[in-house]
A and B are shown apart, each in its own frame.
Chain A
């Protein structure tokens, strides 16, 4: 029976141990700066050029003649269908560094809901809480699966199958079920992030713990090592590379989980709430800047894990 690759393990295999940053960076070092910069410049140019055709039906453009004037208007519309990149950058700057982060209320200083960093923090805190819970549960389950054969045979097919179903669709249920028990705010979103990030960790770590070959296990047995010693001195170190590549998949879907968790109940704060309110009120620039913020957050979270990976593997004596 050939092993059916799961989507997660497939994604792990596809990206390997490289991160987006590592990809871009190693590309730059290999002299790909020129191609990447060229493609990015072409994308930006097409974007700017597309602003007029995309927005041509808006009333502000109805009585403007001359191509240059039309573009000038199209690049500075209030609620464009497609905002120009510099409009997004301006809005991003104005809603982060250009707005006070703290606001004085009757209860003292609180985070200002007009600042995009506030929303980013709300989402990131749920992402990280869920990620840590998912990480601990995932590793614990992988340990159990590797040591208890009956559990491995019982659970693995279901964990693999769960990758083929849209488990993100359960998010609204968790929000409502926990809400009916009086649990609202960060925790329901963290639960969604936790169960999304748990699967890649379990699959990756099960593979990692099982990766030492028979010869190494036999060697440990000739040392008469106990199962605990085999785990701590052989299986755990062997699984570390897999751990980090699982973590990168986990953290990005953990973020998606937190954002989607803010959609169904109309949360007041968070990136998802910004997206939703932007789409209700047609504030396209707000949507785009929230989206850019989400992209920055995803990149930073992955970069932190990549850094931890480099430091850990260096400390363990891995050769580049």
Chain B
């Protein structure tokens, strides 16, 4: 019985590993062929590699037939294989079909550009992310939270400001960028100001909801302890609001980066990710544009990831974080 189980458990593993190895080998061969400029054989190799890697993903995603180790890795492995396949197809298509780099540069070209212009990209990153997006995100979220606290103290303010806040959240706020550039100058201050305005309202709306998230019973308990407004806030309502606050912080994280980059399209000193994107697009050197976008993507997802980690530490009590 146990032998039979091992056999059936062993078979899918062997098949998965074999298909994965075949796909990878053919893909590498196809990459070599493409860079040598081969023709008909290349197309066949690409199709075989693609089919093999996709079949590997199909096998891997049937996790009930796999042993635990592989099944638990599937959540990371399947998207990884898929992403790498996509990059492989992009590379092979660009090189094999000789797509002009004005249209779409190959990943290898982008990587080369990224590594060879790290100082430039680093300076852009500091200008846009560290100087504009991060302070703007902090100020916007903090003032949004302060406004939510004021709304919480004065119900009249809440009933007046919340509908307006909800309304403004749906507007294309990014359009105020040219006005703020005029007010605060070309440098990072105007970009930070755009980010402040963009991040204020999501925090306001979420924090107002979050501050009323604590239960009736818990609040009555605090009341029977004779706790003051501040004590109730710190001991009960702020912790209860944390999932909502982090929700807003995460929405704001991606808004901040978008705001800072797009605001630079309206004028900036000769530095910054948005400036780099708009000038290099003008000079048709798309590899540099893509390299900047890679930096922006890594910065954005790292920012988001850090927030998720902090959220898990802070809201350890929340059902979605308990095992």
CB proximity to B under 8 Å, residues A273-320:
275-276, 278-279, 282, 284, 287-288, 290-291, 294-295, 298-299, 302
Q: Which residues of A contact B163 (CB under 8 A)?
A: 20, 23-24, 27, 32, 36
Q: Which residues of A contact B179 (CB under 8 A)?
A: 284, 287-288, 291
Complex Cα gap A36–B321 (Å): 38
Please state if B254 and A279 are interface contacts (CB–CB under 8 Å). no
**Contacts A154-B82, A164-B254, A279-B182: A172 and B61 contacting too (C-beta < 8 A)?**
no
> Total interface residues on A, using CB and 8 Å?
77
Q: Which residues of A contact B172 (CB under 8 A)?
A: 252, 255-256, 259, 294-295, 298
Residue A99 CB within 8 A of the other chain? no
Q: Which residues of A contact B153 (CB under 8 A)?
A: none
Residue B170 CB within 8 A of the other chain? yes
Closest-by-CB residue of B relative to A3 is: B320
Please state if A260 and B262 are interface contacts (CB–CB under 8 Å). yes
Q: Which residues of A contact B17 (CB under 8 A)?
A: none
Please state if B202 and A14 are interface contacts (CB–CB under 8 Å). yes
Please state if A11 and B251 are interface contacts (CB–CB under 8 Å). yes
Residue B267 CB within 8 A of the other chain? yes
Please state if B267 and A150 are interface contacts (CB–CB under 8 Å). no
**Contacts A36-B159, A165-B301, A279-B266: A153 and B175 contacting too (C-beta < 8 A)?**
no
Q: Which residues of A contact B43 (CB under 8 A)?
A: none
The 22 listed contacts between A and B (C-beta, < 8 Å) are A4-B308, A27-B163, A35-B159, A36-B160, A37-B160, A39-B160, A150-B57, A153-B61, A153-B78, A154-B82, A155-B82, A157-B79, A161-B301, A173-B290, A176-B286, A180-B100, A263-B278, A264-B265, A264-B278, A282-B182, A291-B175, A294-B175
Residue A248 CB within 8 A of the other chain? yes
Please state if B182 and A10 are interface contacts (CB–CB under 8 Å). no
Residue A106 CB within 8 A of the other chain? no
Q: What's the nearest-Cβ distance from chain B to residue A140, in Å?
A: 18
Please state if A252 and B170 are interface contacts (CB–CB under 8 Å). yes
Residue B281 CB within 8 A of the other chain? yes
Complex Cα gap A173–B103 (Å): 8
Residue A271 CB within 8 A of the other chain? yes
Number of A-B contacts (CB under 8 A): 219
Apart from the given pairs A14-B209, A165-B297, 8 other A-B contacts in the complex at a CB distance below 8 Å: A30-B159, A35-B159, A40-B164, A168-B262, A180-B284, A252-B171, A263-B265, A284-B182
Closest-by-CB residue of A relative to B300 is: A165
Closest-by-CB residue of B relative to A5 is: B247
Please state if A1 and B75 are interface contacts (CB–CB under 8 Å). yes
Please state if A169 and B79 are interface contacts (CB–CB under 8 Å). no
Please state if B266 and A23 are interface contacts (CB–CB under 8 Å). no
Q: What's the nearest-Cβ distance from chain B to residue A305, in Å?
A: 11
Q: Which residues of B contact A302 (CB under 8 A)?
A: 170
Which 10 residue pairs spanning A and B have beta carbons closest together?
A35-B160, A279-B178, A39-B160, A154-B82, A164-B304, A165-B297, A20-B167, A35-B159, A150-B61, A157-B79
A169 CB contact (under 8 Å) in B170, B267, B277, B286: B277
Q: Which residues of A contact B49 (CB under 8 A)?
A: none
Residue B205 CB within 8 A of the other chain? yes
Residues of B within 8 A of A (CB): 54, 57-58, 60-62, 74-75, 78-79, 81-83, 100, 102-104, 156-164, 166-167, 169-172, 174-179, 181-183, 202, 205-206, 209, 247-248, 250-251, 253-254, 257-258, 261-262, 265-267, 273-274, 277-278, 281-282, 284, 286, 289-290, 292-293, 296-297, 300-301, 303-305, 308, 312, 320-321
**Contacts A153-B79, A169-B293: A164 and B253 contacting too (C-beta < 8 A)?**
yes
Please state if B164 and A259 are interface contacts (CB–CB under 8 Å). no
Q: Which residues of A contact B162 (CB under 8 A)?
A: 23, 27
Please state if A2 and B281 are interface contacts (CB–CB under 8 Å). no
CB proximity to B under 8 Å, residues A199-214:
none
B78 CB contact (under 8 Å) in A4, A154, A165, A284: A154
A27 CB contact (under 8 Å) in B60, B159, B254: B159
Complex Cα gap A6–B262 (Å): 22
Residues of A within 8 A of B (CB): 1-5, 7, 10-11, 13-15, 18-21, 23-24, 27, 30, 32, 35-40, 43, 54, 81, 149-150, 152-158, 161, 163-166, 168-170, 172-173, 175-177, 180-181, 248, 252, 255-256, 259-260, 263-264, 271, 275-276, 278-279, 282, 284, 287-288, 290-291, 294-295, 298-299, 302
Please state if B250 and A10 are interface contacts (CB–CB under 8 Å). yes
Complex Cα gap A191–B68 (Å): 43
Q: What's the nearest-Cβ distance from chain B to residue A45, in Å?
A: 14
Complex Cα gap A255–B257 (Å): 18
Complex Cα gap A38–B251 (Å): 29
Q: What's the nearest-Cβ distance from chain B to residue A117, in Å?
A: 17
Please state if B178 and A32 are interface contacts (CB–CB under 8 Å). no
**Contacts A165-B254, A264-B278, A279-B267: A176 and B102 contacting too (C-beta < 8 A)?**
yes
Complex Cα gap A165–B82 (Å): 19
Please state if A158 and B79 are interface contacts (CB–CB under 8 Å). yes
**Contacts A15-B169, A36-B164, A39-B161: A259 and B174 contacting too (C-beta < 8 A)?**
yes
Closest-by-CB residue of B relative to A295 is: B171
Please state if B175 and A166 are interface contacts (CB–CB under 8 Å). no
Q: What's the nearest-Cβ distance from chain A to residue B94, in Å?
A: 12
Q: Which residues of A contact B54 (CB under 8 A)?
A: 150
Most buried by A among B81, B102, B156, B170: B170
Q: What's the nearest-Cβ distance from chain B to residue A304, in Å?
A: 13
B178 CB contact (under 8 Å) in A81, A163, A177, A278: A278
Please state if A32 and B160 are interface contacts (CB–CB under 8 Å). yes
